[in-house]
Structure 1
Amino acid sequence: MTNLNTIDPAAVTGGANIEINDVVIAKSSIIIRRFLRNRTAVVGLAVFLALTMFSFLGGLFTSWDKETIDPFNIGMPPSSEHLLGTSQAGIDLYALTVEGTRISILIGLVVGLISVLIAAVYGCTMAYFGGKVDTVMLFILEALIMMPALLVVAVATSGGGNGLQQSLPSWLLLIIVLLVFSWMGTARLIRSLSMSLMTRDFVKAAQYMGIPPRRIVWRHLVPNIGSLLVLDITRGITGAILAEVAFSFIGIGIKVPDVSLGVLIGQATSQVSTFPWMFWVPLTVMFLLTGSLAMMNDGLRDAFDPSSSSVGRAKRGGPEKSEPGKTHEPAGKKTP
């Protein structure tokens, strides 16, 4: 029988299950409990889920959309008819914010998830095969890192209406370009961690048993760097959202008629003193979005780190609870 306060931290990271008071608790359950004890992380998760629901369901609470113009309310502040006001073209800002938030979250989720998946496969493959395969793949990785991402984004999204610009929406084209440049740093880190895992006995045993490389990578390497991958997903989502806002702000990201938070902020920057609601509404949504992801990332980091005490300790129950410096003795016996 194992007491909760005497668990070896290495057991939490190395084993799949932990036995506490004769009850086997899965490692995933321990991580979830530690995450939920972090109030800041829970608040961040609640804010992110609320913004996600707002982006997909917020259009149901208004009769306006991003294309309908109200000629009688052009550049008007928030009112009962337009909850967040209207733009200079007379378009409801609430509808624009819903659409822009959805596009920004969609870009963040797709880029954050797929880039980490690409990095995991690429980095683990380099570490597993090594030798010439590792040399060639590392050369390709370093070449991609040296490419000027800003220039590539500008050329891909501002081609004068030719090629891909005519067949793909600007937000989808931006996702493709961001995917090309967002996985390389993570892949290098995963390669280093996977190379250390290749020296472990369980990996060598799997190789001696003739298990295919694909199964070794997916069953032994990837799960052992799962905590890093989860943290990189939240960081990747945040980075993709900030990249979209930055590129759209300078005019090389999302293009009109597509809408995003970066487009709304960029359009209102020059007139922030005249139409402040057009600037502060999307900027506030962006801060809430990136701030909630940062709080979630901190909570996940502490949840995966068994040595962290920022989320507190589990309470001990029962009559065996004691104070520091005091000992319990059987009833009926006295210390001379």
Structure 2
Amino acid sequence: MTNLNAVDPAAVAQDAHLESADVVIGKNTIIFRRFMRNKTAVAGLAIFLALTVFSFVGGYFTQWDKQTIDPFNIGMPPSAEHYLGTSQAGIDLYAMTVEGTRISILIGLIVGLVSVLVAAVYGCTMAYFGGKVDKVMLFILEALIMMPALLVVAVATSGGGEGLRRDLPSWLLLIIVLLVFSWMGTARLIRSLSMSLMQRDFVKAAQYMGVPARRIVWRHLVPNIGSLLVLDITRGVTGAILAEVAFSFIGIGIKVPDVSLGVLIGGATSQVQTFPWMFWVPLTVMFLLTGSLAMMNDGLRDAFDPSSSSSGSAKKRTALKARVKGNAS
């Protein structure tokens, strides 16, 4: 019968060596290890990276593109020649899915990263200067929040802005519009957190020493809200992808000849019974994208949380050490 109180001498010796050597593990290393111990988060990261690679190199595995029409295979199901079938116009669905996935990922990454960066700078600036500067910037922020985003997107991409639509591709125009409306909520949250940081001794000491405001914001305020920014990036990418799909689905987002997941889903909605592959393929890709980002977000949240239970083998080793000390006593 196995003795439950038995311990692994090698593990105990390794722990003793680490303690005697005063090994200090950096915060970033701890966060990385916590994230990698979360199998769900790692699976989400793998799925997202796989879809990103597919969107950039998948076009090299087929002879068709999003514009070439195959007159001999119109509305055909998946086959050896057309991996995911063709549309009712004879265009290869695989090529359109590759292009649509790439556009949706680009929109998500650009909007998610840039909006969080803008929110961090804007919110920290409001908190640092305070007073009249804070009131004016807060008024601008509230005014932007009150603007109807749906109406502005519709005017910019459909009803007006002929010059912009002629000079810019529709997906780039949609990125610009989404950037205008995607950072305000995060900026308000960062402002409140930064105002509490302004009362800390290290920030006051930097002010008394004459450190420039720009350096205080970048060196003291932004790093101390880094965990919030990382989580907001993943949420921002997910929100941008869903916004693109929603706007394109109702016809005010990306316009043909540009292709995105929203365009493919919206164009195939009325033909689910006739051409089911045209609807379910882009819908599945969208679910994989947003689902993988949600899995990554949960993993990052646990990794940044000091009280997280995602400690894996490290927690087991701590329990083992405690058991050894108890037996020794």
Q: 1:160 deviation in Å?
A: 6.0
Q: What is the TM-score of this pair, normalised by structure 1?
A: 0.89
Match of 1:12 in 2: none
- Residues 74 and 318 of structure 1, relative CA distance in 2, 3 Å threshold: closer
Match of 2:123 in 1: 123
Query: Which stretches of structure 1, 4 residues or longer, exceed 3 Å deviation after superposition?
Result: 310-313, 317-321
Query: Deviations 1:230-259 (Å, cap 9, x if unpaired)?
Result: 000000000000000000000000000000
Pair 1:216 & 2:233 matched: no
Match of 2:59 in 1: 59
SS of equivalent to 2:117 = helix
Match of 2:9 in 1: none
Query: Deviations 1:106-156 (Å, cap 9, x if unpaired)?
Result: 000000000000000000000000000000000000000000000000000
Paired amino acid for 2:97: T
Please give the residue correspondences for 1:1-336 in structure 2 after superposition, counting only pairs within 5 Å: 22-159=22-159, 162-312=162-312, 314=314, 315-316=316-317, 320=321, 322=323, 326-329=326-329
Partners in 1 of 2:84 and 2:251 — Cα distance?
Answer: 24
Match of 1:333 in 2: none
Partners in 2 of 1:31 and 1:147 — Cα distance?
Answer: 38
Q: 1:72 deviation in Å?
A: 0.2
Query: Deviations 1:49-83 (Å, cap 9, x if unpaired)?
Result: 00000000000100100010000000000001000
Q: 1:321 deviation in Å?
A: 5.3
Tell which deviates more after alignment, 127-136 or 314-323: 314-323
Partners in 1 of 2:65 and 2:47 — Cα distance?
Answer: 24
Partners in 2 of 1:252 and 1:319 — Cα distance?
Answer: 59
Partners in 2 of 1:118 and 1:156 — Cα distance?
Answer: 22
- Residues 160 and 142 of structure 1, relative CA distance in 2, 3 Å threshold: closer
Q: Is the 8 A contact 2:303 2:310 kept in 1?
A: no
SS of equivalent to 1:234 = helix
Coordinate RMSD, CA, aligned: 1.8
Q: What is the TM-score of this pair, normalised by structure 2?
A: 0.91
Paired amino acid for 1:211: V
SS of equivalent to 2:159 = coil
Q: 1:316 deviation in Å?
A: 1.9
Partners in 2 of 1:188 and 1:235 — Cα distance?
Answer: 16
SS of equivalent to 1:158 = helix
Q: Is the 8 A contact 1:159 1:165 kept in 2?
A: no
Partners in 2 of 1:102 and 1:66 — Cα distance?
Answer: 13
Partners in 1 of 2:186 and 2:152 — Cα distance?
Answer: 20
- Residues 20 and 252 of structure 1, relative CA distance in 2, 3 Å threshold: farther
Partners in 2 of 1:20 and 1:218 — Cα distance?
Answer: 37
Partners in 1 of 2:181 and 2:319 — Cα distance?
Answer: 55
- Residues 285 and 318 of structure 1, relative CA distance in 2, 3 Å threshold: closer
Paired amino acid for 1:165: R
Match of 1:6 in 2: none
Q: 1:43 deviation in Å?
A: 0.1
Q: 1:164 deviation in Å?
A: 0.4
Query: Deviations 1:293-335 (Å, cap 9, x if unpaired)?
Result: 00000000000001011453513289855179x5423xxxxxx
